[in-house]
Chain A
Amino acid sequence: MAIYLLRRAVTAAVVLLGISMVTFALLHIMSPSPGRDVLGLQASRASVAAFNRAHGFDRPLISQYLSYMNQLVHGNLGYSYKLNQSVDALLSENAGRTAMLVGVSLVIAIAIAVPLGIFQAVKRNKAADNVVTALAFTAYSMPSFFLGLLLIDLFALRLHLVNAEASQSTSAFVIFTDPRSMVLPVATMAAVSVAMYSRYQRSATLDQLAQDYIRLARAKGLPARLVLTRHLVRNACLPMVTLIGLSVPLLLAGNLVIESVFNYPGLGLLFFNSLQSDDYPVLLAYTLVSGALTVLGNLAADISLALSDPRIELA
Chain B
Amino acid sequence: MTTNAQLLPAPAADGSEGGTAAAPTSGWRLALRSFGENRLAVIGVGIVVLFVLFCFAGPHFYHTNQTSVNVVNSFQPPGSGHILGTDGQGFDELGRVMLGGQSSLEVGLFAAAIATTIGTLYGTAAGLAGGYIDAIMMRFVDMLLSIPFLFIVLIVATKFSSTVLSLGLILGMFSWLVPARLVRAEVLALRNRGFVAAARVMGASGPRLAFRHLIPNALGVVVVNITFQIADAIIAVATLGFLGFGLYYPHTDWGDQLSNGVTYLTAGYWWLIFPVGICLILVVMAFNFIGDALRDAVDVRLRRR
Residues of A within 8 A of B245 (CB): 275
Bound-state Cα–Cα, A260 to B240, Å: 12
Shortest distance between the CB of B239 and any CB in chain A (Å): 5
Q: Does the CB pair A14–B139 fall under 8 Å?
A: yes
Q: Does the CB pair B148–A283 fall under 8 Å?
A: no
B25 beta carbon closer than 8 Å to chain A:
no
Residues of A within 8 A of B280 (CB): 142-143, 146
Residues of A within 8 A of B239 (CB): 143-145, 257
Nearest neighbor of A15 in chain B, beta-carbon distance: B143
Q: Does the CB pair B154–A149 fall under 8 Å?
A: no
A307 beta carbon closer than 8 Å to chain B:
no
Shortest distance between the CB of A82 and any CB in chain B (Å): 14
Contacts A138-B281, A143-B242 hold; do A253 and B155 have CB atoms under 8 A apart?
no
Bound-state Cα–Cα, A142 to B255, Å: 12
A137 beta carbon closer than 8 Å to chain B:
yes
Contacts A30-B159, A145-B239 hold; do A290 and B143 have CB atoms under 8 A apart?
no
Chain A interface residue count, CB cutoff 8 Å, equals: 43
Instruction: Say which one of B16-24, B85-93, B212-220, B258-266 lies at the interface with A.
Output: B258-266
Shortest distance between the CB of A126 and any CB in chain B (Å): 17
Contacts A30-B155, A275-B154, A287-B155 hold; do A138 and B147 have CB atoms under 8 A apart?
no
Q: Does the CB pair B147–A22 fall under 8 Å?
A: yes
Interchain CB contact (< 8 A) of A291 among B146, B231, B235, B285: B146
B149 beta carbon closer than 8 Å to chain A:
yes
Shortest distance between the CB of B2 and any CB in chain A (Å): 19
Q: Does the CB pair B155–A142 fall under 8 Å?
A: no
**What class of interface size applies to chain B in its complex with A?**
35 or more
Residues of B within 8 A of A291 (CB): 146-148
Residues of B within 8 A of A283 (CB): 151, 155
A245-268 residues with Cβ-Cβ distance < 8 A to B are 249-250, 252-253, 256-257, 260
Residues of A within 8 A of B255 (CB): 143
Kindly supply a per-residue 1/0 record for chain B positions 160-186, scoring 1 wherever the CB is within 8 Å of any chain A CB and 0 otherwise.
000000000000000000000000000
Nearest neighbor of B243 in chain A, beta-carbon distance: A260
Bound-state Cα–Cα, A146 to B284, Å: 13
Nearest neighbor of B238 in chain A, beta-carbon distance: A143
Q: Does the CB pair B285–A137 fall under 8 Å?
A: yes
Q: Does the CB pair A298–B146 fall under 8 Å?
A: yes
A62 beta carbon closer than 8 Å to chain B:
no
Shortest distance between the CB of A282 and any CB in chain B (Å): 11
Q: Does the CB pair A157–B265 fall under 8 Å?
A: yes
B140 beta carbon closer than 8 Å to chain A:
yes
A112-168 residues with Cβ-Cβ distance < 8 A to B are 137-138, 140-146, 149-150, 152-153, 157
Determine chain B's interface SS by DSSP, over half rule.
helix
B26 beta carbon closer than 8 Å to chain A:
no
Bound-state Cα–Cα, A226 to B258, Å: 49
From B145, B146, B155, name the one whose CB has the most chain A CB atoms within 10 angstroms: B146
Bound-state Cα–Cα, A278 to B157, Å: 12
B150 beta carbon closer than 8 Å to chain A:
yes
Q: Does the CB pair B281–A18 fall under 8 Å?
A: no
A51 beta carbon closer than 8 Å to chain B:
no
Bound-state Cα–Cα, A253 to B158, Å: 16
Interchain CB contact (< 8 A) of B151 among A145, A278, A287: A287
Q: Does the CB pair B285–A295 fall under 8 Å?
A: no
Shortest distance between the CB of A77 and any CB in chain B (Å): 15
A271 beta carbon closer than 8 Å to chain B:
yes
Q: Does the CB pair B139–A15 fall under 8 Å?
A: yes
Q: Does the CB pair B266–A157 fall under 8 Å?
A: yes
Nearest neighbor of B160 in chain A, beta-carbon distance: A30
Bound-state Cα–Cα, A140 to B284, Å: 9
Shortest distance between the CB of A311 and any CB in chain B (Å): 22
Q: Does the CB pair B273–A19 fall under 8 Å?
A: no
Residues of A within 8 A of B284 (CB): 141-142
B233-277 residues with Cβ-Cβ distance < 8 A to A are 235, 238-239, 242-245, 255, 258, 262, 265-266, 270, 273, 277
Q: Does the CB pair B155–A15 fall under 8 Å?
A: no
A222 beta carbon closer than 8 Å to chain B:
no
Q: Does the CB pair B155–A275 fall under 8 Å?
A: yes
Interchain CB contact (< 8 A) of A19 among B143, B265, B288: B143
Q: Does the CB pair B243–A257 fall under 8 Å?
A: yes
Nearest neighbor of A144 in chain B, beta-carbon distance: B239
Bound-state Cα–Cα, A275 to B158, Å: 7
Residues of A within 8 A of B244 (CB): 276
Residues of B within 8 A of A27 (CB): 155
Kindly supply a per-residue 1/0 record for chain A positions 14-37, scoring 1 wherever the CB is within 8 Å of any chain B CB and 0 otherwise.
110011001100110010000000
Bound-state Cα–Cα, A22 to B244, Å: 25
Residues of A within 8 A of B148 (CB): 249-250, 252-253, 287, 290-291, 294
Interchain CB contact (< 8 A) of A253 among B140, B151, B258: B151
Residues of B within 8 A of A290 (CB): 147-148, 151
Shortest distance between the CB of B77 and any CB in chain A (Å): 17
Residues of A within 8 A of B50 (CB): none
B299 beta carbon closer than 8 Å to chain A:
no
Known: A18-B143, A141-B284, A149-B262. 6 other contacts (CB 8 A): A138-B281, A146-B280, A260-B243, A275-B158, A275-B245, A294-B147
- 6 chain-A/chain-B pairs, Cβ below 8 angstroms: A15-B146, A138-B285, A141-B284, A252-B151, A257-B242, A271-B151
For the complex of A and B, 4 pairs with smallest distance between CB atoms: A253-B150, A141-B285, A18-B143, A249-B148
